[in-house]
Amino acid sequence: MRKLRSFQIACGLIAAHVVVSEVLTLEPGTSVSDRLPALFVPLLILAAAGFTYPRVRPGFAATIALTLAALALTGGALAMASIEPEGFDAYSVSGIGALAAGLLLAWLGSAGLWESRKAQGRPVVRRLLITVASAVFAFEVLLPVGFALVATHRPASPPEGDGIDRPFEEVTITTADGLELEAWNLPSRNGAAVIVYPDRAQSVPHVNMLADNGFGVLALDMRGYGSSEGNPNAFGWGATADIDAAAGFLRGQPDVVEGRVGGLGLSVGGEQMIEAAAVNPALRAVVSEGAGERSVRETLIFGPRAALVVPQQAVLTTAVAVFSGDGPPVALDEAAAGIAPSPVFFIHGEEGQAGEELNEDFYSAAGEPKQIWKVPGAGHVDGLEAAPEEYERHVVDFFEVALDVGSQSTP
């Protein structure tokens, strides 16, 4: 009875953290209606766990406790990482409760496994099968759900303009769905401008490279990141609206001639550039570096080679949809096929992260004009650092031709 009471208390602490996270401490520019799946699905799972826990065998009850423990510890750690210098808020306080619940559930689960082992004396083969089943469950379910939680709840860190070589101004851009996004705007000296996306702080070298060659640059923080409003989503679902708003802003600038607007996307930004360019002709040319998998739809492009990870990616996609409230976007090979006649340039590192090899598939699906470059020795979005002169020449030449500006930059 004491264990059941402890389990119920832990579930109550987790439920409180869910309510605080999804209702009481909303991100700027969002509303409760955006968070309904992330609110109700976890609460339903907790209710189901509370109903099931006292009615199943000790080993299965221990598995339930350990599963919830892992997720509670992840959620609590995310809350601790978001603590502001001025002190604790409701989210961080409820996060402490989630951490306590996670530790309590870990103790209940571990004790339950030990007791069930002693009481039942399972044969070696059965224990081995249970171990394998637990490992498969952790890999196919627990790991992707935890990753989805991190991807949709990680705290933002406002950037600073340190390292920008040329004068810029801080600007705020409003998206069609009402979010205010923060950006650095560097004026154009050759009549063309490029959106650099999705993280200002991480793209300073790319901003400087383009600005030094005369291009205007709008370095934009994706929704939910940096100082921009909105819920974070490391996979970028729904964020093409950010790029659309940025393109509209640049087309209205007096230094941008005849709508000469391009885009340079890095990692998830590269994926969003592909999607945005497929539907928005205002993007006259795009460079996508480091694009890869953002849902199970890209995993399926691999075909039979990805059979073992398709279930994991399906769980990840479902979990991200629940936590973010957004559905998975179109597969990137389909999006790439819609970019033509606008030029597109795919870049990926020879030593890039898993999934970047799909750039070959994106390139095959895209229509002309198109280019692709596998950067020798480069890691994920590491092309500029790995081969600075060649990277600058490739990217600048691409934009000068695609945006019809030639070599008109001035010192």
Instruction: Give ranges for CATH 3.40.50.1820 in the chain.
Output: 169-294+329-402
Residue 117: its pLDDT value, please? 62
Residue 407: its pLDDT value, please? 45
Q: Is the pLDDT of residue 128 over 70?
A: yes
pLDDT in tens, 174-233: 999 999 999 999 999 999 999 999 999 999 999 999 999 999 999 999 999 999 999 999
> Per-residue DSSP letters for 214-274?
T-EEEEEPPTTSTT--S---TT-TTTHHHHHHHHHHHHTSTTS-TT-EEEEEETHHHHHHH
Q: Is the pLDDT of residue 126 over 90?
A: no
The overall average pLDDT reported for the chain is 92
Q: Which residues contact 128 (CB under 8 A, 6 or more apart)?
A: none
**Cβ-based neighbour number of residue 323 at 10 Å:** 24
Residue 85: its pLDDT value, please? 67
Instruction: Note the helical H segments in 53-142.
Output: 58-81, 90-120, 124-137
Q: Which residues contact 145 (CB under 8 A, 6 or more apart)?
A: 71, 315, 316, 319
pLDDT in tens, 9-32: 999 999 999 999 999 998 889 999
> Per-residue DSSP letters for 147-163?
HHHHHHHPPP-----TT
Per-residue pLDDT, averaged over 128-155, amounts to 88
Confidence of residue 337 (pLDDT cuts 50, 70, 90): very high
386 or 161: which carries more pLDDT confidence?
Answer: 386
Per-residue pLDDT, averaged over 368-391, amounts to 97
Residue 129: its pLDDT value, please? 77
Q: Is the pLDDT of residue 120 over 60?
A: no
Residue 124: its pLDDT value, please? 67
Residue 400: its pLDDT value, please? 97
Closest CA to 90 of 272, 120, 82, 332: 82
Q: Are strands 261-266 and 344-349 parallel, antiparallel or unpaired?
A: unpaired
SS3 label, residue 86: coil
Kindly state which CATH superfamily the domain 169-294+329-402 is placed in: Alpha/Beta hydrolase fold, catalytic domain (3.40.50.1820)
- pTM, whole model, 2 decimals? 0.91
Beta bridge partners of 196: 219, 264
pLDDT in tens, 280-298: 999 999 999 999 999 999 9
Q: Is the pLDDT of residue 36 over 90?
A: yes
Candidate from 2-16, 106-120, 130-144, 350-364 with smallest mean pLDDT: 106-120
Residue 380 to residue 183: CA distance in whole angstroms: 24
Confidence of residue 122 (pLDDT cuts 50, 70, 90): low
Residue 410: its pLDDT value, please? 44
Contact 324, 314 (CB under 8 A): no
411 or 203: which carries more pLDDT confidence?
Answer: 203
Candidate from 102-116, 284-298, 374-388 with smallest mean pLDDT: 102-116
Q: Is the pLDDT of residue 121 over 70?
A: no
Residue 305: its pLDDT value, please? 83
Closest CA to 36 of 240, 326, 296, 318: 326
Confidence of residue 352 (pLDDT cuts 50, 70, 90): very high
Confidence of residue 411 (pLDDT cuts 50, 70, 90): very low
Q: Is the pLDDT of residue 406 over 70?
A: no
Residue 95 to residue 76: CA distance in whole angstroms: 4
pLDDT in tens, 49-95: 999 999 998 888 999 999 999 999 999 999 998 887 667 889 999 99
Residue 127: its pLDDT value, please? 66
Per-residue pLDDT, averaged over 251-256, amounts to 96
134 or 320: which carries more pLDDT confidence?
Answer: 320
